[in-house]
Structure 1
Amino acid sequence: MSRLRYNRAGAEEHLRRQCPKLGAFVEIQGRFRLRVARDPDVFCALSRAIVYQQLSGKAAGTIHQRFCGLFDDGCPEPSAAAGLDMERLRAAGLSRNKALSVQDLARRSLDGSLAGFRRLGRMSDEAVITNLCQVRGIGPWTAQMFLMFNLGRPDVMPATDLGVQKGVQAVYGLRSLPPPDRVLRVTRHLAPYRSAASWYFWRAADTDLMTR
């Protein structure tokens, strides 16, 4: 497990101290175990994110495996991807929009407009999101996932994520699914460890808290 940019135990303690309701779920769920990807390759991470968009895990995994098979060593990289035409990308299972996104990702990786891993690591969260979102098919949610699961940033709250919304509803006993602005409002006090809070909200979305 790669290191986060913050202390796990410190994040857990902060959530317990700041929010008794979430703290009670932390006790139920146990230790904070968000995993950060070991591979620092931005192109690999974002091309995988593009492939997986709006697909079930099994279907996306199959297509991603075929996509990786287009490369000599099975590892996607921008110079080789830039030479792949639409027909080969579509034959691997990518939709036209996803194929165009991969092509744009390759171009921006090669021309330097998309920052590399080390450069992204020196940017603020907002600057990372802006840089990644210039790529076709990469939106704020994907950029936030990159911040959490690739850069290990501590204070990310993906308020548009359905799982987070369901978790917030469950933990706080809300009558209806909260829209993004309400998610941000009711979780503001959990900063600067909202990445850890998000992880617990995802767990809460899969837990029947009404029976406890």
Structure 2
Amino acid sequence: MSSHFVNWKEDENGLVLFTPHEFSFSENLRYLSRSANECLYEISGETIRRALSIGKVKLLLEISGESDQFLSVSIHKPVTHQMKAEIAAYVHDWFDLGANLTPFYEMAQTDPLLQKPAEQFFGLRVMGIPDLFEAFAWGILGQQINLTYAYTLKRRLVEKYGEWLEYEGIRYWLFPAAETIAGLTIEDLADLKMTVKKCEYLIDVARLISNGELSKEDLLKEGDVKAAEKKLTKIRGIGPWTAHYVLMRCLRFPNAFPIDDVGLHNAIKVITGSERKPAKAEILNYSAAWKNWEAYATFYLWRVLY
């Protein structure tokens, strides 16, 4: 469903990415602005600034969308053509620009749950987490706590163990590398104030990634969502929810479906006006029409909540 072809060109400040037809920069910006406690990018007006590390080089990207036909990416220092290609690939992945959403919107037109959200948030993409360790960390940090506290934990982790670059007096943080966290003990993470279990899971996953036992390539080779889920749920602390979250936000499996997600259940309650949480059978009944679009359906339903 997602194509690997990245449609971009160089320009004097950096590069331009051409966006697909169903794309709204402002909708994606609204989604990215949902927490005032986000620590990995800064949004001011219509511009996103975020640090990105390419090889050993830290760069500051400034991403803006003057129209919904393209994204402009300016880079605060000169870089090679090859680095621009890597930046283009990163932004393309982050905004899921390879997905053709026409069939999703056609399906949503007659769907009782998706009809309104698809109209209201038209052009929204499943904003990704291209880095595998960051996706896992966010999934682990978010287990059984509310989103506000998850952001607090993420900020503590990033500001203690992440690198940064400074530009015009502002620090732009990079998510800690798996290698950094792999070398830590549970005691090292104690002052982040998260459960011992979460600390263990985080260090375990960091070790698996840093020693090459777990990679995006290997997970994509699994070929289908069930096989990839099975591989992930063998890891301690990774249940079906976290597995599907990672498969959805990082690996772009279109049919990843965190069916036990509280936000999904709350969104269904809001749309249907029901007082009670939907039963699993009801969710399966609703989702029968979403085949191969479960990830997008979930993302659009989440969007109803904030």
Match of 1:210 in 2: none
Match of 2:124 among 14, 29, 33: 33
Contact 2:121 2:300 (C-alpha < 8 Å) held by counterparts? no
What residue number does 1:120 align with?
A: 219
**Whole-Å Cα distance in 2 between the matches of residues 27 and 58 of structure 1?**
26
**1:160 corresponds to which of 260, 267, 287:** 260
Residue 219 of structure 2 aligns to which amino acid in structure 1? L
Equivalent position of 1:187 in the other structure = 287
Give the aligned residue type for 2:154.
Answer: H
Count residues in correspondence. 202
Structure 2 residue matching 1:3: 3-state secondary structure: coil
Identity percentage of aligned residues:
26
Corresponding residue number in structure 1 for 2:113: 22
Two-structure CA RMSD over aligned residues (Å): 2.7
Report deviation, 1:98: 0.9
Q: Which whole-Å deviations, capped at 9, do the CAs of 1:86-106 have from their partners, x for residues lacking one?
A: 211112222211111112112
Which deviates more, 132-141 or 53-62? 53-62
Answer 1 or 2: which has greater helix percent: 1
Distance in 2, matches of 1:111 and 1:32, equals: 38
Greater shift in the superposed pair: 99-108 or 156-165: 156-165
Q: TM-score, normalised by structure 1?
A: 0.79
Unaligned runs of 5+ in 1: 208-212
Give the 3-state SS of the residue equivalent to 1:94 in structure 2: coil
The two structures have a TM-score, normalised by structure 2, of 0.57
| Superposition map of 1:1-212 within 5 A | 1-3=94-96, 6-17=99-110, 19=111, 21-22=112-113, 24-26=115-117, 29-37=120-128, 39-71=129-161, 73=163, 75-114=175-214, 116-123=215-222, 124-172=224-272, 176-204=276-304, 206=305
1:134 Cα deviation after fit: 2.4
How far residue 174 of structure 1 moved from its aligned partner, in angstroms, is 5.5
Structure 2 gaps of 5+ residues are 1-93, 164-173
Alpha-carbon shift at residue 196 of structure 1 (Å): 2.3
Which letter does structure 2 place at the counterpart of 1:122? K
Q: CA deviation at 1:32?
A: 4.8
Which structure has more strand as a fraction of its residues? Answer: 2
Greater relative contact order structure (CA < 8 Å, 6+ sep): 1
Alpha-carbon displacement from aligned partner over 1:127-161 (angstroms, at most 9, x marks no partner): 22122222222211111112222222222332211
Pairwise CA distance, 1:170? 4.6
CA change 1:161–1:56 in 2 (3 A) is closer
Q: Distance in 2 between matches of 1:40 and 1:200?
A: 19
Tell me the SS of whatever aligns to 2:193: coil
| Whole-angstrom distance in 2 between the partners of 1:60 and 1:14 | 33
- Cα distance change, pair 63–26 in 1 and its aligned pair in 2 (3 A): closer
Relative to structure 1, is the Cα distance of residues 65 and 4 closer, same or farther in structure 2, using a 3 angstrom cutoff? same
CA distance in 2, matches of 1:47, 1:171: 30
